Structure 1
Amino acid sequence: MSIKVPFNKPYLAGNELQHIESAIKSGKISGNGKFTFLCHRFFEDRYNFKKCFLTSSCTDALEMAALLLEISPGDEVIMPAFTFVSTANAFVLRGAKIIFCDSRIDHPGMDESKLKQLITERTKAIVVVHYAGVACNMDSIMKLANHYNLFVVEDAAHSIDSYYINSAGKKVALGSIGHLSTFSFHETKNIISGEGGMLVVNDERFKKRAEIIWEKGTNRSAFFRGEVDKYNWVDVGSSFLPSEVTAAFLWGQLENLDRIQNRRLELWNKYYNCLSEISECGDFKLPIIPKYATNNAHIFYFVCSTPKKRSKIIAKLKANGILAVFHYISLHTSPYYKSKGNDNLDLKNSQIYTDRLLRLPLFYELEPGIIDQISNLINETV
């Protein structure tokens, strides 16, 4: 059976190709040009991010974060087990020991109540993953981090245009709370550039050095601003910044962010309404949005009652030309993690999401009628 409804379909929002042509005609398609500046300013103005650095991927942004925090052998970094491998790799590359936290019973995000018991004298950072763009409880995490003098990195790969409502009732953008945060513009995300990412620096201590690391360990940006008479190799770094072609495509998406988000929310709500009655049978549970979080409609998922039930639904949809998929394999069960002689952890909730979480197609051009069809097929299966 050929796939008629893919899980994801990249969307051209409007002016991406024209912006790419403009970048090429300008004679500058290497990084840190006009379109990079436009993207940086957009994020900083709209979301109150202190300083932004576009990167070639969210993985690059995470690796920059690990460099800025000076992660080194012997350091411990706490993060959820239910996440993508890049979250861990960035810190493993610096020699850190990863300490995995279980997920919440009501959401794939990390269980904040279990963080304190994982902190030791070697802990240096907590990496928070806002799964599906739904915020973790950042008040409790920041309070704990401040008490133990730990850094917080928000892995906000899923979280463009998503917010946290803090204890004072103020709505603040995800990615603006931790010391550092990272975003993804991979083709599966709400706002895309094919591959692409961004590091956000919210702590002034890291602002100057982040620019140097971003520019291959040189003070090249300061040179072009006329702050130094020549630029030199002054620190470690790498080629983290993307080309202007990537930034130009991203700018075309950002110009239409509200339209894209409104459409995705419309489709997400359609799924939720269609599946609400069916979920009462007990064969699956719909996603929960905590009162302190907003929904950016990045993923529509539900959690099946058993792995067998998930497989049955996937097979039914595939037989009708519709691709639904599972998600992460919990990192604490991975061959690499086990090969390093790590403890055999029992993270029950994380394993539930590994075995039972199912993601449905969600992209701008998905027709509401297809959601009706998907819901009917699920109803026939449960």
Structure 2
Amino acid sequence: MENKMIPFNKPYLTGKETFYIEDAVATGHISGNGKYTKKCQNFFESVYDFKKCLLTTSCTDALEMAALLINIQAGDEVILPSYTFVSTANAFVLRGAKLVFADSRKDHPGLDESQLEGLITPKTKAIVPVHYAGVACDMDKIMQVAEKHNLFVIEDAAQAIDSFYTGQDGVKKPLGSIGHLGAFSFHETKNIISGEGGMLAINDSQFIERAEIIWEKGTNRSAFFRGEVDKYGWVDVGSSFLPSEIIAAFLWAQIENIEKIQSRRKLIWDSYRDKISIWARKNKIQLPVLPAYATNNAHMFYLVFETEEHRRKFIAYMKGHDILTVFHYISLHRSEFYKTKHEGKALPFSDKYTNCLLRLPLFFELDVHSVIDKILMYESDK
């Protein structure tokens, strides 16, 4: 009998998803901004202290809303890491912005904060840090640069739900709550999921009213339903960013179990770190680094190999043992779409992670020790 392949990801179901979906259908209101949308948004506002939350159909949509809210125009420049998913960039390219790529850090795939000052020009409008693997960028440095140059900060927190940053003031802040705006993902590969789904966190009060309008296709429909206006109409640009109640109902079942889900994921992450650290040093493989100011939400566990060939051999070895491992992004400055438009200098660490980073399986029901056993049998010189 063939062994069953251990997948890279397997969505975890709490058991309440279909119950809440049926309840949403029974209410007769499934088009969005109903009972479950409000429950989810209220949870994030109360537990993580975001000023305002709006569920979206994806993190991509949340980022596109953010680009609209800060009024990105053709010719504006936006600083972001090259080592990120294309949605981070597309939100601003769609508005006509020029992308200015920062390299990754030597010790972590996140944006190198020390490069920011050298990338700013009179056309710079925003900085978009990506909290890769749910690990915080140095937000004090980023916010200080942004304040000095009067720039907006949009946190791409797609991977960073339930992760925190401790600033110079000693206060622990949720990721996505520090910049002017924050964008989250509930894609099926994330810690809590709704299949596809996302959320915009609004931390600057000046954006709250307009965000609701953009979210509701450019209308003041939300204000109408609260009784604040006697009729609603088209008052601004917008699109259909809000998800259905079915998506929100699914997400609510996940939210109810967030502590259980996070505890299990952290246990798996810690098992990887504790059991393979010596093996990794022996094979010259870098493990994830957690800066002192960052917490770990166990979104992913990755390895960084010395060479692309070394990574390829390990992938083949693990696949031969029925374990699926995957590499991540191709840096955007090397992409088919943008490589001819990239005018900046070389980005060696972005290239390093593109060529050498590999993600291990990490999901709620994973038998992590089976994976670890196979990892420990691998030697790079064989």
Scaled by the length of structure 2, what TM-score is found?
A: 0.98
Tell whether 2:28 aligns with 1:45: no
Query: Residue 128 of structure 1 aligns with which residue?
Result: 129
Query: Residue 361 of structure 2 aligns with which residue?
Result: 361
What are the superposed Cα offsets for residues 194-216 of structure 1, whole Å, 9 maximum, x if unpaired? 00000010000100000000000
Query: Residue 237 of structure 1 aligns with which residue?
Result: 238
Q: How does 1:44-123 map to 2 (within 5 A)?
A: 44-123=45-124
Gaps (5+ residues) in structure 2? none
Work out whether residues 7 and 323 of structure 1, in 8 Å CA contact, stay in contact via their aligned partners in 2: yes
* Closer/same/farther in 2, CA of residues 234 and 301 from structure 1, 3 Å limit: same
What are the superposed Cα offsets for residues 262-314 of structure 1, whole Å, 9 maximum, x if unpaired? 00000000011111010121421111100000000001001001111100000
The structural deviation recorded for 1:378 is 3.4
Tell whether 2:343 aligns with 1:349: no
Structure 1 stretches of at least 4 aligned residues deviating more than 2 Å after TM superposition: 341-345, 371-382
| Aligned alpha-carbon RMSD (Å) | 1.3
Work out whether residues 127 and 151 of structure 2, in 8 Å CA contact, stay in contact via their aligned partners in 1: yes
Q: Distance in 1 between matches of 2:29 and 2:374?
A: 46
Q: How does 1:139-150 map to 2 (within 5 A)?
A: 139-150=140-151
Letter in 1 for 2:321: N
Work out whether residues 134 and 161 of structure 2, in 8 Å CA contact, stay in contact via their aligned partners in 1: yes
Letter in 2 for 1:348: P
Work out whether residues 37 and 245 of structure 2, in 8 Å CA contact, stay in contact via their aligned partners in 1: yes
What are the superposed Cα offsets for residues 344-369 of structure 1, whole Å, 9 maximum, x if unpaired? 64100000000000100000000133
Work out whether residues 283 and 379 of structure 2, in 8 Å CA contact, stay in contact via their aligned partners in 1: no
Query: Residue 28 of structure 2 aligns with which residue?
Result: 27
Query: Residue 329 of structure 1 aligns with which residue?
Result: 330
Equivalent residue of 1:239, what SS?
coil
Q: How does 1:195-206 map to 2 (within 5 A)?
A: 195-206=196-207
Q: How does 1:366-381 map to 2 (within 5 A)?
A: 366-379=366-379
Query: Residue 14 of structure 1 aligns with which residue?
Result: 15
Work out whether residues 129 and 156 of structure 1, in 8 Å CA contact, stay in contact via their aligned partners in 2: yes
Work out whether residues 101 and 347 of structure 1, in 8 Å CA contact, stay in contact via their aligned partners in 2: yes
Gaps (5+ residues) in structure 1? none
Letter in 2 for 1:367: D
Q: Distance in 1 between matches of 2:120 and 2:224?
A: 42
Equivalent residue of 1:335, what SS?
coil
What are the superposed Cα offsets for residues 155-210 of structure 1, whole Å, 9 maximum, x if unpaired? 00000000001111111100100000000000000000000000010000100000
Equivalent residue of 2:339, what SS?
helix
Letter in 2 for 1:354: T
Work out whether residues 87 and 155 of structure 1, in 8 Å CA contact, stay in contact via their aligned partners in 2: yes
What are the superposed Cα offsets for residues 24-59 of structure 1, whole Å, 9 maximum, x if unpaired? 111111100000000001000111111000000000
Q: What is the aligned residue count?
A: 381
Q: Distance in 1 between matches of 2:368 and 2:326?
A: 19
Letter in 2 for 1:174: L
Letter in 2 for 1:212: I
Q: Distance in 2 between matches of 1:177 and 1:93?
A: 25
Q: Distance in 1 between matches of 2:215 and 2:169?
A: 35
The structural deviation recorded for 1:373 is 2.5
Scaled by the length of structure 1, what TM-score is found?
A: 0.98
